[in-house]
Amino acid sequence: MKAAFMRFMIKDAGNVQLLYWAVKSAQELNVDSQYALWEYFISNLPADIKEKAGRRLNAPRSAQPHLSMARELNLLELRGRWLVTAHGRAFLELWERDKHNPPKFFLLMLLLNYDRSFLIPFFKRMLDSGKSPEKLTYKEAVPMAKDAWKELWKNCWHELSSIEPPIPRPEEISTHTCYHHAAARLRFVVGQEGLGLRKDQLLKLLENFSDYAFRELPDHFCFLLGHAISGRMPEPVDMEELKERLKDAFLRLKGLAYASARATFYYVNEILLPQKAVEWREFSSFLRSSKGISVQPSFSSDDFIFSIKGVI
């Protein structure tokens, strides 16, 4: 499988509110200049958010960590211009739908999808150390990040060795780089600025997903995620409710006529969890088999687009 690793992580990333404003700024500005986007982000931040962040937002370049993380989570992409992706549109919709509360399950789905090959070994070493995650300093987490880097290379060396620009090998990785990777993930996953997961939730998350650090996520991974965060296994959603959730999601997420199946799947599960969930195989099979739905290939090999044309 392809290594699930978010490469361009910067130490000040991981604040969920700033992640939202990074995506929102790109949606509003629609430019090709990274510097113009940085300036817009800084100048349009609400005063209370800027005050909480303090010195970390004192210059346009201080926007970079948050825009970089948004890109790593596939919320933004650069295609001539900085564009909000289908996942980014789903993120904005969920944020605004829930009165600016972070869509925790949605963001964890993306994090597992794009970073589990580093994230799982990193947090496993952190919990094995016996230290409380919320009390661990970023500096104390650096050796754990170095160990996770070694495991990533051990399992994905063939792919990593062919990437340009080169990814440092374990013997080349610097303490400074490991600090960036450790700090951003700690802030995002366990920090109060981020998702604020408790130790028991992290333990259950690792228990449910350790086997998938270097394998594809299973079809029922949303059930495993719901179980890790809430302590109980979600029930499968019934077909009538799924249809209603799907129609609502499509109206909110479609572009000119089509919506991303993957982004809609994550969106629907964010709404359903933790009480209920739907598997990817069931969800995608329903879209492909329904007479009222038209499907087309996507640019992404693990996705497709769909449009609701009639009764489903």
The answer, yes or no, to whether residue 54 has pLDDT greater than 70, is: no
Read off the pLDDT band of 55 (50, 70, 90): low
Domain 16-97 -> CATH class: mainly alpha
- Percent of the chain having pLDDT more than 70? 99
Of the options 1.10.10, 1.20.950, 2.60.120, 1.10.150, the CATH number for the domain spanning 235-308: 1.10.10
The answer, yes or no, to whether residue 95 has pLDDT greater than 70, is: yes
CA 85 to CA 75: how far, in whole Å? 5
What mean pLDDT do residues 222-246 have?
A: 98
Mean pLDDT estimate for the chain: 94
The answer, yes or no, to whether residue 1 has pLDDT greater than 90, is: no
The answer, yes or no, to whether residue 48 has pLDDT greater than 90, is: no
What mean pLDDT do residues 97-119 have?
A: 93
| Adjacency order of strands within the sheet including 304-308 | 259-260, 304-308, 293-297
Read off the pLDDT band of 57 (50, 70, 90): confident
What mean pLDDT do residues 4-23 have?
A: 96
